[in-house]
């Protein structure tokens, strides 16, 4: 490249950099003024936009140092567009022409036949794909900056690239155009009404509706397994389920779900309820139903979740059954809490848990999965400022962040359907649960982000102190069953495998098909996904998988066979309230019914 060309490229990129810097400054000024006038508004999403602008500024700054890389990308892009123009010209005169670029497998945005059959829309689609691929390839070549990581560069760039997809605009989406013509524009009017309704539901915290909320009611058509609340404190209600067998295993079963959402993902409906299945296998099942916290619980810490979650539950279960030991299951963050509790009990030399089962659980946080784009000192500092201001982390902000990890499937597809096509969201219990989030107390959330995700202290002997005790995961000798899922983007299976290696007792690691939810909630009757098993636990996860056997069906039956050795003898079935604990109310209880907006008022 000639020196003059290089200088021109550098000057052009510097202008982009200057523009981003100016826009970010103006945006920050406008945001500060807006927040001063609206002190109670949640600024989580707005701060994300500011962080994104800072990320773009870092990218532009890096690109000024690599003019040849930029020029090469531009040259290749021009060549590709020339091919596209030639292919389109051939189609115009009736000749066959292979596409220059095609959507990636699993990209459902361009499924309508007009995206291929109609030359105009085919050209728009391919031009967009060429441009977006070039941008992402260029961004992928960048390295971490002082304030942002390569993963953040990729994430934020992907958000802009996918937001600009022609499928998201009525004039460049053939499906929307056809519907607009056939309905006389009624779809756009209906879509605007739905947009207004969504905004009214969440002013200042916009989330698009993903399902028909009126179709579901907790306790009526989700979370319906019969049981009773037999204990409660300010942190949780403990549900004991009604037995369905005359005899039950002597050792009770305690389930610890995550507190970042509600427990009934394990009890959506009878045919796929893990809770119902566990009861039907002859277990006395207890589950923790976490409180949906508001500002009043701002000083609640991670150790409070341990003390007033599993530890209080153990004491309550002893009163309910007479048993001092339980078998325990922890799901996601509930599994991280279970590991921490086991390490605490080990340090205190207390044997209260016979066996532990971890479902898609991170203990080693060295690779936090998709959420890692939000894990850095700068982002966490901004979150901590918000936590200090209001006393809790709004669950709607977390739901939005998780949705943006799969933005085309979990955001833009609903924007198109709801607002452009004007269609009502369909009833879907899983998406109802996904939208029924929970808040997180300020102290706990800040502690968890820094100590687990950012500093990975849980894997360090003595790196975490809970209730005055320095814990060490490697001291745990309790037999454990690790269930991970091969497509999990929240708790990547190779990272959860590292957590399994930390334990000193007997360990069984099982890998289910599918992802974080479907791979766990996979009843045997469906005969879906399958799972891998390997009796060995080599140091390397790839070696484990290489020697693993693929099994058909669900991991549930494999777990049942493993767990029977810790179940104890058969005893008469226990009914909630038949011993020292009195029934407080019917399951699912009051705590799980509290929505985010109502929790914030408390």
**Of 472, 533, 543, 545, residue with least CA distance to 507:** 533
Choose the catalytic residue: 238, 332, 420, 511: 332
Both ends of the chain: CA-CA distance in Å?
Answer: 65
Cα–Cα distances (Å) from 146 to 65, 143, 200, 306, 506, in that order, read 16, 10, 39, 36, 43
Main-chain phi, psi angles of 330, to 5 degrees: -120, 130
Q: How far apart are CA 320 and CA 415, in angstroms?
A: 49
Q: How far apart are CA 517 and CA 528, in angstroms?
A: 13
CA 540 from chain centre, in angstroms, equals 26
Q: How far apart are CA 522 and CA 531, in angstroms?
A: 11
DSSP string, 171-209: GG-HHHHHHHHHHTTHHHHHHHHHHHHHHHHSTTS----
Contact (CB, 8 A) for 354 and 566: yes
65 as an active site residue: the answer is no
Torsion 232-233-238-239 (CA) sign: positive
**Beta pairing partners, 328:** 254, 356
The CA radius of gyration of the chain, in Å to the nearest whole number, is 27
Residue 200: CB atoms within 10 A of its CB come to 8
Contact (CB, 8 A) for 425 and 210: yes
Main-chain phi, psi angles of 377, to 5 degrees: -60, -40
DSSP string, 345-377: HHHTT---EEEEEEES--S--SS-GGGGGG-SH
- Residues counted in the chain: 602
Contact (CB, 8 A) for 76 and 101: no
Contact (CB, 8 A) for 257 and 359: no
Q: What is the DSSP letter of 419?
A: I
Which residues does the annotation mark as catalytic?
Answer: 332
């Amino acid at each position: 490249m000639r020196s003059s060309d290089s200088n021109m490229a550098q000057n052009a990129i510097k202008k982009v950099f200057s523009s981003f810097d100016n826009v970010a400054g103006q945006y920050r000024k406008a945001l500060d003024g807006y927040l001063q006038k609206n002190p109670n508004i949640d600024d989580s999403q707005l701060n994300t936009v500011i962080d994104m602008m800072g990320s773009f500024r870092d990218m532009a700054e890096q690109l000024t140092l690599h003019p040849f890389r930029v020029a090469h990308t531009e040259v290749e892009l021009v060549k590709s567009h020339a091919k596209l123009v030639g292919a389109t010209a051939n189609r115009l005169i009736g000749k066959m022409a292979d596409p220059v670029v095609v959507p990636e497998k699993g990209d459902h945005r361009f499924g309508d036949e007009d995206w291929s059959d109609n030359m105009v829309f085919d050209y728009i689609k391919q031009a967009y794909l060429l441009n977006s691929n070039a941008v992402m390839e260029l961004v992928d070549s960048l390295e971490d900056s002082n304030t942002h990581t390569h993963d953040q560069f990729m994430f934020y760039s992907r958000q802009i690239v996918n937001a600009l997809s022609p499928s998201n605009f009525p004039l460049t989406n053939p499906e929307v155009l056809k519907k607009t013509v056939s309905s006389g524009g009624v779809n756009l009017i209906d879509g605007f009404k739905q947009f207004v309704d969504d905004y009214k539901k969440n002013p200042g915290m916009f989330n698009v509706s993903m399902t028909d909320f009126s179709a579901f009611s907790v306790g009526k058509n989700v979370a319906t397994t019969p049981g009773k609340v037999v204990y409660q404190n300010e942190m949780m209600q403990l549900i004991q389920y009604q037995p369905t067998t005359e005899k039950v295993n002597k050792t009770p079963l305690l389930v610890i779900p995550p507190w970042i959402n509600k427990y009934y993902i394990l009890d959506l409906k009878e045919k796929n309820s893990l809770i119902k299945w566990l009861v039907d296998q002859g277990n006395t099942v207890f589950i923790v139903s976490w409180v949906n916290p508001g500002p009043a619980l701002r000083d609640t810490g991670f150790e409070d979740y341990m003390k007033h979650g599993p530890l209080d539950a153990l004491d309550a279960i002893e009163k309910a059954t007479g048993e001092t030991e339980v078998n325990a299951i922890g799901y996601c963050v509930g599994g991280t809490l279970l590991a921490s509790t086991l390490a605490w009990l080990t340090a205190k030399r207390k044997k209260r848990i016979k066996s532990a089962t971890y479902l898609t659980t991170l203990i080693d946080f060295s690779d936090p999965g998709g959420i890692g784009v939000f894990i850095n000192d700068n982002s966490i500092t901004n979150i901590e400022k918000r936590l200090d201001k209001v006393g809790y982390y709004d669950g709607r902000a977390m739901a939005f962040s998780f949705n943006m990890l799969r933005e085309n499937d979990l955001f833009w597809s609903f924007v198109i359907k709801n607002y452009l096509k004007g269609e009502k969201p369909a009833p879907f219990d899983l998406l109802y649960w996904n939208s029924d989030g929970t808040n997180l107390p300020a102290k706990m959330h800040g502690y968890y982000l820094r100590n687990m995700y950012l500093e990975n202290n849980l894997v360090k002997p003595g790196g975490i102190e809970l209730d005055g005790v320095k814990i060490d995961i490697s001291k745990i000798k309790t037999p454990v069953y690790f269930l991970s899922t091969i497509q999990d983007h929240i708790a990547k299976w190779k990272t959860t495998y590292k957590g399994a290696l930390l334990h000193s007792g007997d360990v069984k690691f099982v890998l289910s098909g599918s992802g974080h939810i479907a791979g766990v909630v996979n009843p045997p009757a469906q005969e879906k996904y399958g799972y891998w098993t390997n009796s060995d636990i080599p140091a390397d996860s790839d070696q484990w998988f290489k020697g693993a056997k693929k099994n058909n069906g669900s991991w549930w039956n494999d777990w049942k066979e493993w767990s029977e050795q810790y179940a104890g003898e058969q005893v008469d079935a226990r009914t909630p309230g038949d011993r020292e604990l009195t029934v407080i109310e019917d399951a699912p209880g009051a705590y799980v019914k509290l929505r985010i907006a109502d929790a914030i008022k408390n």
